[in-house]
Structure 1
Amino acid sequence: MESVWNEAFVYEVLSVVEEIPAGKVASYSQIAQLIGRAKNARLVGRALHQAEHYGSYPCHRVVNQAGRLAPNFPEQRELLLAEGVTFRKNGCVDMKCCQWEC
């Protein structure tokens, strides 16, 4: 894991995250694929968890593939709602209409 996890990896992740437009979301695996590391979706989550140490990024726009919100991030839902992101009855983001098509 150490060969994958480094500051360059974090900045690769964050550079994609800052491109997600307001009102859209991306999944951890989508970001991993975009940076050419398709098998590192969990590390994307780890990078986002530490993003505050690297500046201000719209990490609230990243959810899992099913649209579930990040655990221990209670503000995430409100931030997404404020941007017009829609949710299904089960509490997950409606990925069909809100997933970022990059």
Structure 2
Amino acid sequence: METFTENAIAVIKRIPAGKVMTYGQIAKLAGSPRGARQVVRILHSMSKKHHLPWHRVVNIKGEIGLKEDEHYSIQKLSLESEGVEFLSNGRIDLSRFQVSIDVDQ
């Protein structure tokens, strides 16, 4: 496994319940500031194997990246069950729910 992938998995695992991080934020912390699409790939292919809290990752606008389908509903319900609130426009207020993780800890 590549270092970036290992780092991204470690960051994703540290997202606490009731908080979110963005794809780009994870990519930057994992060592590749332009690697947001790589994070999407990691979440898609490795969430089950590594028991990743994939539902806690959103886009830079605070939106669920998935289209309106079953997975969108699962992600939204999972976040709401952890106390994350959605605004009327379907976005999450990142100033309230986005977490900052120090990778050196």
> Does TM, scored on the shorter chain, surpass 0.5?
yes
Could you tell me how far apart the structure 1 residues matched to 2:91 and 2:5 are?
Answer: 26
Asked whether 1:54 is paired with 2:49, we answer: yes
TM-score normalised according to structure 1 size? 0.86
Q: Out of 8, 20, 23, which is 1:13 matched to?
A: 8
Give the aligned length: 96
Q: Which amino acid aligns with 2:10?
A: S
Asked whether 1:78 is paired with 2:77, we answer: yes
Q: Is the 8 A contact 1:87 1:94 kept in 2?
A: yes
The CA deviation string for residues 4-41 of structure 1, in whole angstroms up to 9 with x for no partner, is xxx32332211100101111000000001101100111
TM-score normalised according to structure 2 size? 0.83
Structure 2 unmatched ranges of 5 or more? none
- State the percentage of identical aligned residues: 39
Over 6 Å off, 4+ runs: none
Structure 1 unmatched ranges of 5 or more? 1-6
Alignment of 1:1-102 (within 5 A): 7-8=1-2, 9-71=4-66, 73-74=71-72, 75-102=74-101
What is the CA RMSD across the aligned residues, in angstroms? 1.4
